[in-house]
Amino acid sequence: MADAKLYFITAALYLVLGVRIGVALRSDAGGTEAKGGGRGGLARILILCAWVVHGAVLHRALLSEGGLDLSLGHSLSLIAWVTVAMYWIVSFRYRMGVLQPLILILAACMVLSPLVFPEDKQVPYSGLLAFKVHLVVSLMAYGLFAIAALHAMLMGVMEQRLHSHDKRLSRLGELPSLVAMDSLLFQMILVGFLLLTAALASGVFFSEALFGKPLPFNHKVVFSFISWLIYAGLLAGRQIWGVRGRRAARWTLAGFAMLLVGYVGSKFVLEIILHRG
């Protein structure tokens, strides 16, 4: 595990950026930042710097002589790192509004996960190409669906407050219209669905290469397929019945919850409760 000071420094970088951007979004200058103006460009540079520091800490912590350490704590930190990367890429095309500070503050918390769950879990077969492809694609899917889930929650809050004429909505800073946010949500879900499909397919090849048989029937695989079915149904419902708004947001959260239960939940039970690798 890397020096604990490095974790706190990385978390502090994310936290300071998140709070600073959140304050800017609530001020008159927030609109400039949200629209990608000069301050928005500076924020992207600072976020990239924090992300690079986070990556350096992860590289030092994950790699060891026994292979790749994918314990619960390091997995959560790795998912946060990928989520920030996916957000950073998406922010060049879309205004992310209040999602910016929310993602950064959550990342600050998840950076400290290895200190809360310090148990190591080495993956001796991490050198296999099939495993590397599966890991990268899976993490990209998790990162994008994490942003989609936060986006869905924000949509739900916006729609509820608009219907009730709640003036506190203005405190969230300048935000796109619900129509634009709904369109962005389904674009993220579509890309995430393709990545999740690729992750499941690459998992089959990885399992064949390592164990000589397709995906094992375990909690991770079962919940991943349930999530895949939820997102497939949501995309189909969008095309056939025009599903949108709070209904789409609820199903988006349900699909992400299945992913969390399948991966993070399984790791928590095995490593923390049962103390099994």
Quick one: 162 and 92 in the same domain? Answer: no
Residues 6+ apart with CB under 8 A from 246: 155, 156, 159, 160
Q: Which of 7-21, 95-109, 168-182, 207-221 has the highest mean pLDDT?
A: 7-21
Q: Report the C-alpha gap between 215 and 209 in whole angstroms.
A: 11
Higher pLDDT, 17 or 221: 17
The verdict on 157 and 260 lying in the same domain is yes
Q: Are residues 186 and 243 in the same domain?
A: yes
pLDDT higher than threshold 50 for residue 38: no
d(CA 221, CA 262): 7
In terms of domains, do 112 and 134 share one? no
- Is the domain of 216 the same as that of 100? no
Q: What angle do CA 206, 208, 209 make, to 5 degrees?
A: 65
pLDDT at residue 238 greater than cutoff 80: yes
Residue 81 has pLDDT above 80, yes or no: yes
Closest CA to 229 of 209, 204, 208, 251: 251
Do both 113 and 161 map to the same domain? no
- Find the mean pLDDT for residues 1-6: 75
The pLDDT tens digits of the residues spanning 48-63 come to 999 999 999 988 888 7
SS3 string, 130-188, reads HHHHHHHHHHHHHHHHHHHHHHHHHHHHHHHHHHCCCHHHHHHCCCCCHHHHHHHHHHH
**Same-domain check for residues 137 and 273:** yes
- Binning pLDDT at 50, 70 and 90, where does residue 209 land? low
Host domain of residue 3: 1-117
Same domain, 92 and 200: no
